[in-house]
């Protein structure tokens, strides 16, 4: 293999300092404008390799065990930011009570990516074609942020701003995602379209439905960030057929082909959710 | 290639132009940087390296616009190497490359080959009474068809390790390339060195698909750097460089006219073909468009044809061979116009083909090549037989079925092999061709073992080292079995003969009195010597053979069933039938592997693959995030079958099988898509949006 350390080490990124804190507090002291947290690295490392991201320091949070957990707390689901995506895919608790998360995660890249990639990393990276931000948006998740000077909690609407841009301040870290309970018997559907298996999604739709009680429709690829289709949700709650719900939601995707594609995806997701 | 480590190895990184066409007004190199050893610019190469050679195919005119090793005053594509940085590691070389300051003054961009004023290649072919045939035709059907630019995307990118020994003035270079011979010849030309003073070694290579047939300019820089510095130098291309700097394939458009009688007889064909060649002529750039032109009468007995091919300069990375290398283009152009002709005549596409297939061999095509052998009718019939039930449209899906034929030139020129009897009785064979994933070791061992009458595991193959490999041309154009394999067969036979003569000498008998049986010599009186005994009794037995032949022509018939989702435009390939005639098949498993792999690449071209340059001539598909490749999940069922019409031109009867899948598949899928769309013709890739828009337009009409 090429390079086995020393001066000859074969790394692609521009030079950076590297820290491996053991605790969240230490990590929060380290991160800042020039200092980025490194979690699963599935998006950050390619950006580093292209030298599109050039942080002065990487703060490797992978050895902070307190950031990786998946548990039910009261009725809510709490997901530590460092939890690997594969945990959502395999958890019986998630499958039973928040099946949308399981379905969305299964669409994330390939198995290798889901094994290494973290839930918090996907959220904080805010790729407009990522599945988990859309699923969390559909589930009214709350995002808990910490910095060395304090803590705050944001909803999806406030957190996601633009492609690859969130409301996280440079010295803030996403530490937990809290997913509120769904009504008993709620069903979900997540359908996306990608050019090939495992490729980035072109568009997608997440639908949650508990007839008469709860309805959510969130869209991937309809804008610069995850969008809730409120008119479609109202119609869904009132028992409108999937096709009608889909037509309302697809209006948010603009015209022409993106709209036709979105209509098809929302219809299929709504049907999976029982509409 | 990247696994090769040498003591004192230095590493190379390139400064590549971000501009697609610009004058270099200033170039400032860093004096010092961590680990920096040297920076090379075009000025440093003066007297040490000249531009890469150009190879013009027979009858083609090629402009003198070669690829410089490093850009001089002008850069002509985004990604062109401008300077090279040598440092203690690749990472440090990349760091130092960022410190090289280059000022560019942008020049006018040419993106569309139709708007280019600079013709790099021109070829014209004509045969028969073209004007008379068109005047006499009942129907003239015409169309414009195009194939996009594609990236070959081998698993292993390009690269080279160069090492120079001043003591014996020997330059050794390990390249991730398709063969030693072309690298050797081109490197000698670029460096102005005697071939004997260069040794080229091709280690195990992770795929090429045509894209490693020319010397990489970067490899020549590695050679110069190694000689200048007296240290070995490694260049391992990264994936981004491969997308912007490695030559691409296809990018060809054709206006085709076919003259027909109302009874379905093809009378003549005319075509004007425009190739987007990119910024320079690499050694192999002119070859694919010439092949396209020469094959424009396809499998059909068309008495007259006139074809003009022009290759235009654009501000993009040059093109060159990519699996099929001109043949998929020809098959797509011919088979599209034939299908459009069938539609015009109201005739079944299969029937129109049947009425016009070449059926007698050798067949001189009006464009000048002679098809040696084939059974085109059998290929077509078999493809139809293997097709499943006709797909039916429904409320959600349109359905279409397409068939396409192809004829492929393979082989030609020469290859050689040397067979040596080793102590213990095993046989070593040095072949002049080079494997890079095709399984030469297996196939060639079979060929030799059959002639030696031994088990294949007694035969050991060696390839790809110019210091020991016999003379040849290389591995490309589906020619290794036909040419290299035939040379192996002849060398094995020559070794048998050599062994018989050696035994005859030992026994004081005439060689004619001895027979060869089960891997040993046998006399009429029952005396015998096995290979092992011969090796002990007469050490050093060896024989070499050279095999030369004209081109051989493989052929095939492909069949595709597709569905198009009405709501989304998604194209779903339901089934592909691949029938190939590559003459005698030596190893059916490896041959089928070639068909499946080629078909997968052909499907990639149909579904997702396209290199895109934006209005600034910047490549926007320069990573896997943007250039998509199919996965196993997208593969439809593929039924394969072989028709074996042996060629009379070589002792194996073998033709070429390496490219058929990539040639037949796009043409068949193209016809299936047109069938689903009621005759509306689109060009690949058949993206959802393109298909959806076509369906919308037809609804509105």
Verify that B71 and B203 share a domain, yes or no: yes
For residue A2, being part of any structural domain is answered with no
**For residue B632, which residues of chain A lie inside 8 Å, CB to CB?**
197
Placement of tokens 């990264």 in the chain? B238
Which of A127, A160, A179 terminates a domain? The answer is A179
Tell me how far apart the alpha carbons of residues A83 and B590 are, in angstroms, rounded to a whole number.
45
B667 forms beta bridges with none
Which of A179, A213, A236 terminates a domain? The answer is A179
For residue B694, being part of any structural domain is answered with yes
Verify that B82 and B219 share a domain, yes or no: yes
Whether B234 contacts B158, CB under 8 Å = no
Verify that A175 and A211 share a domain, yes or no: no
For residue B87, being part of any structural domain is answered with yes
> Distance (Å) from the C-alpha of residue B108 to the closest C-alpha of chain A?
28
- Tens-digit pLDDT profile for residues B668-681: 999 999 999 999 99
Verify that B372 and B497 share a domain, yes or no: no
For residue A256, being part of any structural domain is answered with yes
Answer yes or no: do A199 and B628 touch at CB < 8 A. yes
> Distance (Å) from the C-alpha of residue A75 to the closest C-alpha of chain B?
38
Verify that A149 and A226 share a domain, yes or no: no
For residue B308, being part of any structural domain is answered with no
The enclosing domain of B505 has a CATH number of 3.30.365.10
The enclosing domain of A213 has a CATH number of 3.30.390.50
B184: pLDDT strictly greater than 80: yes
For residue A249, being part of any structural domain is answered with yes
Q: Which two tokens stand for residue B519?
A: 């891997």
- Tens-digit pLDDT profile for residues B212-267: 999 999 999 999 999 999 999 999 999 999 999 999 999 999 999 999 999 999 99
Binned at pLDDT 50, 70 and 90, residue A12 comes out as: confident
For residue A77, being part of any structural domain is answered with yes
For residue B569, being part of any structural domain is answered with yes
pLDDT average, residue stretch B21-41: 97
Phi, then psi, of B611 in degrees rounded to 5 = -85, 130
Verify that B378 and B498 share a domain, yes or no: no
Q: Which two tokens stand for residue B235?
A: 């260049």
- Tens-digit pLDDT profile for residues B586-632: 999 999 999 999 999 999 999 999 999 999 999 999 999 999 999 99
Q: Which two tokens stand for residue B10?
A: 């230095």
For residue A45, being part of any structural domain is answered with yes
Tell me how far apart the alpha carbons of residues B352 and B671 are, in angstroms, rounded to a whole number.
14
**For residue A260, which residues of chain B lie inside 8 Å, CB to CB?**
567-569, 692
Number of domains in chain A: 3
Verify that B634 and B542 share a domain, yes or no: no
Binned at pLDDT 50, 70 and 90, residue A6 comes out as: very low
Verify that A156 and A224 share a domain, yes or no: no
CB atoms within 10 A of CB B639: 15
For residue B246, being part of any structural domain is answered with no
Which structural domain range is residue B458 located in?
410-549
DSSP A69: -
**For residue A264, which residues of chain B lie inside 8 Å, CB to CB?**
565, 567-568
Placement of tokens 């089960």 in the chain? B518
pLDDT average, residue stretch B306-324: 98
pLDDT average, residue stretch B184-200: 97
pLDDT average, residue stretch A223-245: 97
Tell me how far apart the alpha carbons of residues B429 and B407 are, in angstroms, rounded to a whole number.
32
Q: Is B269 helix (H, G, I), strand (E, B) or coil?
A: strand
Verify that A145 and A231 share a domain, yes or no: no
- Closest C-alpha among B24, B118, B14 to residue B75: B24
Verify that A80 and A142 share a domain, yes or no: yes
Verify that B479 and B371 share a domain, yes or no: no
A80 forms beta bridges with A176
Tell me how far apart the alpha carbons of residues B146 and B670 are, in angstroms, rounded to a whole number.
11
Q: Which two tokens stand for residue A188?
A: 């979900």
Answer yes or no: do B631 and A198 touch at CB < 8 A. yes
**For residue A3, which residues of chain B lie inside 8 Å, CB to CB?**
89-90
Verify that B585 and B605 share a domain, yes or no: yes
Which residue of chain A is at minimal alpha-carbon distance from B622?
Answer: A50
For residue A153, being part of any structural domain is answered with yes
Which residue of chain B is at minimal alpha-carbon distance from A261?
Answer: B568
Verify that A73 and A170 share a domain, yes or no: yes
Whether A251 contacts A272, CB under 8 Å = no
For residue A106, being part of any structural domain is answered with yes
Answer yes or no: do B89 and A264 touch at CB < 8 A. no
Verify that B573 and B539 share a domain, yes or no: no
Verify that A174 and A88 share a domain, yes or no: yes
Verify that A166 and A90 share a domain, yes or no: yes
Binned at pLDDT 50, 70 and 90, residue A1 comes out as: very low
Q: Report chain B residues touching chain A, CB-CB < 8 A.
A: 2-3, 5, 11, 35, 88-92, 94-95, 98, 236, 238, 240, 565, 567-570, 607-608, 623, 625, 628-634, 688-689, 692-693
The enclosing domain of A49 has a CATH number of 3.30.43.10
Verify that A53 and A81 share a domain, yes or no: no
DSSP per position, B348-412 = -HHHHHHTTB--SSSEE-TTS-EE----HHHHHHHHHHH--SPP---SSEEEEEEEEEEEEEEEE
pTM listed for this prediction:
0.96
Which of B236, B268, B285 terminates a domain? The answer is B236
Which structural domain range is residue A53 located in?
13-60
For residue A1, being part of any structural domain is answered with no
Verify that A48 and A133 share a domain, yes or no: no
- Closest C-alpha among B244, B154, B111 to residue B622: B244
Residues in Cβ contact with B662 at an 8 Å cutoff, skipping those fewer than 6 apart: B323, B324, B328, B598, B599, B601, B602, B605
B15 forms beta bridges with B83
Tell me how far apart the alpha carbons of residues B13 and B234 are, in angstroms, rounded to a whole number.
9
What counts of helices (H) and strands (E) characterise chain B? 16, 27
For residue B44, being part of any structural domain is answered with yes
- Closest C-alpha among B591, B69, B117, B99 to residue B312: B117
Verify that B62 and B181 share a domain, yes or no: yes
Which of B236, B262, B277 terminates a domain? The answer is B236
H-helix segments, B110-163: 130-136
Confidence (pLDDT) at B398: 97
The enclosing domain of B182 has a CATH number of 3.90.1170.50
Binned at pLDDT 50, 70 and 90, residue B701 comes out as: low
Phi, then psi, of A94 in degrees rounded to 5 = -65, -45
Which of A60, A81, A97 terminates a domain? The answer is A60
Which of B530, B549, B568 terminates a domain? The answer is B549
DSSP B360: S
Answer yes or no: do B240 and A3 touch at CB < 8 A. no
DSSP A253: G
Q: Which two tokens stand for residue B664?
A: 């037949």
Verify that A197 and A257 share a domain, yes or no: yes
Confidence (pLDDT) at A10: 55
Element (H, E) at B700: helix B688-700
Which residue of chain A is at minimal alpha-carbon distance from B2?
Answer: A2
Verify that B204 and B75 share a domain, yes or no: yes
ipTM (interface pTM): 0.91
Tell me how far apart the alpha carbons of residues B458 and B424 are, in angstroms, rounded to a whole number.
10
For residue B125, being part of any structural domain is answered with no
CA dist A191 → A121, A164, A203, A268, B323 (Å): 22, 22, 9, 7, 35
Verify that B441 and B527 share a domain, yes or no: yes
Confidence (pLDDT) at B564: 97
B320-356 exposure pattern, b = at least 16 Cβ within 10 A, e = fewer: bbbbbbbbbbbbbbbbbbbbbbbbbbebebbebbbeb
Verify that A93 and A140 share a domain, yes or no: yes
Verify that B431 and B495 share a domain, yes or no: yes
Answer yes or no: do A197 and B631 touch at CB < 8 A. yes
Question: How is the beta sheet containing B520-523 ordered, strand by strand?
Answer: B514-516, B520-523, B528-530
pLDDT average, residue stretch A16-24: 96
A8: pLDDT strictly greater than 70: no
- Closest C-alpha among B307, B306, B303, B308 to residue B267: B303
Q: Report chain A residues touching chain B, CB-CB < 8 A.
A: 1-3, 7-12, 14-15, 46, 50-51, 193, 195-200, 202, 256-257, 260-261, 263-264
Q: Which two tokens stand for residue B316?
A: 């993009």
Helix axes B327-345, B287-294, angle to 10 degrees: 30
The enclosing domain of A123 has a CATH number of 3.30.465.10
Confidence (pLDDT) at B537: 95
Number of domains in chain B: 3
Q: Is B310 helix (H, G, I), strand (E, B) or coil?
A: strand
For residue B316, being part of any structural domain is answered with no
């Amino acid at each position: 293999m090429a390079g086995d350390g020393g001066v000859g080490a074969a790394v692609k990124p521009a030079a950076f300092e590297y820290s491996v804190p053991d605790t969240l507090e230490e990590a929060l002291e380290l991160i800042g404008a020039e200092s980025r947290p490194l979690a699963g690295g599935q998006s950050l490392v390619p950006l580093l390799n292209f030298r599109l991201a050039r942080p002065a320091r990487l703060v490797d949070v992978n050895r902070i065990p307190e950031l990786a957990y998946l548990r039910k707390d009261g009725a809510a689901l709490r997901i530590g930011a460092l939890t690997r995506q594969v945990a959502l895919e395999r958890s019986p608790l998630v499958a039973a009570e928040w099946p949308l998360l399981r379905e969305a995660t299964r669409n994330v890249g390939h198995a290798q990516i889901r094994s290494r990639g973290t839930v918090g990393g996907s959220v904080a990276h805010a790729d407009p074609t990522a599945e988990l931000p859309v699923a969390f948006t559909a589930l009214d998740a709350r995002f808990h942020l910490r910095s060395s000077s304090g803590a705050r909690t944001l909803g999806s609407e406030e957190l996601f701003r633009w492609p690859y841009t969130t409301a996280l301040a440079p010295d803030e870290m996403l530490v937990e995602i809290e997913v509120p309970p769904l009504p008993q018997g709620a069903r979900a559907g997540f359908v996306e379209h990608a050019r090939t298996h495992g490729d980035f999604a072109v568009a997608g739709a997440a639908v949650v439905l508990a007839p008469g009680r709860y309805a959510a429709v969130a869209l991937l690829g309809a804008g610069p960030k995850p969008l809730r289709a409120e008119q479609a949700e109202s119609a869904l709650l009132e028992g409108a057929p999937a096709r009608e719900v889909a037509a309302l939601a697809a209006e948010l995707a603009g015209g022409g082909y993106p709209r036709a594609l979105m209509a098809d995806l929302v219809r299929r997701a709504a049907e999976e959710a029982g509409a | 290639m990247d696994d090769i480590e040498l003591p004192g190895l230095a590493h190379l990184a390139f400064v590549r132009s971000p501009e697609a066409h610009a004058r270099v007004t200033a170039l400032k190199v860093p004096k010092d940087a961590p680990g920096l050893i040297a920076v090379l610019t075009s000025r440093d190469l003066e007297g040490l390296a000249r531009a890469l050679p150009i190879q013009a195919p027979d009858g083609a005119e090629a402009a003198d616009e070669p690829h410089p090793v490093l850009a001089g005053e002008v850069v002509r594509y985004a990604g062109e190497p401008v300077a090279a940085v040598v440092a203690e590691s690749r990472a440090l070389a990349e760091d130092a490359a960022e410190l090289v300051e280059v000022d560019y003054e942008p020049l006018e961009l040419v993106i569309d080959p139709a708007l280019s004023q600079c013709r790099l290649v021109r070829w014209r072919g004509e045969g028969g009474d073209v004007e008379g045939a068109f005047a006499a035709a009942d129907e003239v059907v015409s169309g414009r068809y195009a194939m996009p630019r594609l990236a070959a995307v081998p698993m292993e990118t390009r690269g080279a390790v160069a090492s120079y020994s001043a003591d014996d003035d020997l330059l050794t270079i390990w390249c991730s390339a398709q063969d030693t011979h072309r690298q050797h010849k081109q490197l000698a030309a670029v460096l102005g060195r005697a071939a004997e003073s260069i040794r080229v070694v091709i280690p195990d290579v992770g795929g090429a698909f045509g894209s490693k047939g020319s010397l990489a300019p970067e490899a020549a820089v590695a050679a110069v750097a190694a000689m200048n510095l007296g240290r070995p130098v490694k260049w391992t291309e990264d994936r981004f460089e491969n997308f912007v700097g490695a030559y691409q394939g296809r990018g060809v458009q054709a206006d085709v006219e076919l003259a027909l009688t109302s009874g379905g007889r093809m009378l003549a064909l005319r075509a004007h073909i425009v190739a987007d060649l990119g910024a320079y002529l690499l050694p192999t750039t002119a070859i694919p468009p010439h092949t396209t032109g020469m094959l424009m009468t396809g499998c059909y007995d068309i008495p007259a044809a006139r074809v003009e091919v022009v290759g235009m300069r654009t501000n993009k990375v040059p093109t060159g061979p990519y699996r099929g290398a001109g043949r998929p283009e020809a098959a797509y152009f011919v088979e599209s116009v034939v299908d459009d002709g069938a539609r015009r005549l109201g005739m079944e596409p299969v029937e129109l083909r049947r009425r016009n297939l070449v059926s007698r061999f050798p067949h001189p095509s009006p464009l000048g090549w002679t098809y040696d052998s084939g059974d085109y009718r059998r290929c077509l019939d078999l493809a139809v037989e293997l097709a499943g039930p006709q797909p039916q449209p429904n409320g959600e899906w349109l359905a279409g079925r397409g068939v396409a034929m192809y004829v492929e030139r393979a082989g030609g020129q020469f290859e050689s092999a040397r067979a040596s009897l080793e102590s213990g009785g095993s046989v070593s064979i040095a072949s002049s061709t080079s494997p890079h994933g095709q399984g030469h070791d297996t196939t060639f061992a079979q060929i030799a073992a059959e002639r030696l009458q031994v088990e294949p595991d007694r035969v050991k193959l060696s390839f790809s080292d110019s210091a020991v490999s016999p003379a040849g041309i290389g591995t490309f154009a589906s020619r290794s079995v036909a040419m290299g394999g035939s040379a192996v067969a002849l060398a094995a036979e020559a070794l048998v003969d050599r062994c018989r003569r050696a035994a005859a000498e030992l026994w004081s008998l005439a060689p004619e009195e001895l027979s060869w049986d089960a891997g040993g010599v046998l006399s009429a009186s029952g005396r015998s010597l096995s290979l092992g005994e011969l090796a002990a009794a007469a050490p050093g037995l060896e024989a070499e053979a050279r095999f030369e032949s004209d081109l051989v022509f493989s052929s095939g018939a492909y069949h595709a069933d597709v569905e198009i989702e009405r709501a989304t435009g998604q194209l779903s390939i339901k089934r592909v039938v691949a029938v190939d005639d590559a003459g005698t098949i030596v190893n059916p498993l490896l041959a089928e592997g070639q068909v499946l792999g080629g078909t997968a690449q052909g499907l990639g071209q149909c579904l997702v693959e396209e290199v895109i340059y934006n209005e600034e001539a910047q490549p926007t598909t320069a990573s896997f995030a943007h250039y998509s490749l199919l996965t196993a999940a997208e593969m439809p069922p593929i039924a394969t079958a072989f028709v074996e019409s042996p060629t009379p031109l070589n002792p194996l009867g073998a033709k070429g099988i390496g490219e058929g899948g990539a040639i037949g598949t796009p043409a068949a899928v193209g016809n299936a898509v047109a069938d689903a769309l009621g005759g509306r013709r689109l060009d690949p890739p058949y993206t959802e949006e393109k298909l959806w828009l076509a369906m919308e337009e037809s609804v509105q009409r």
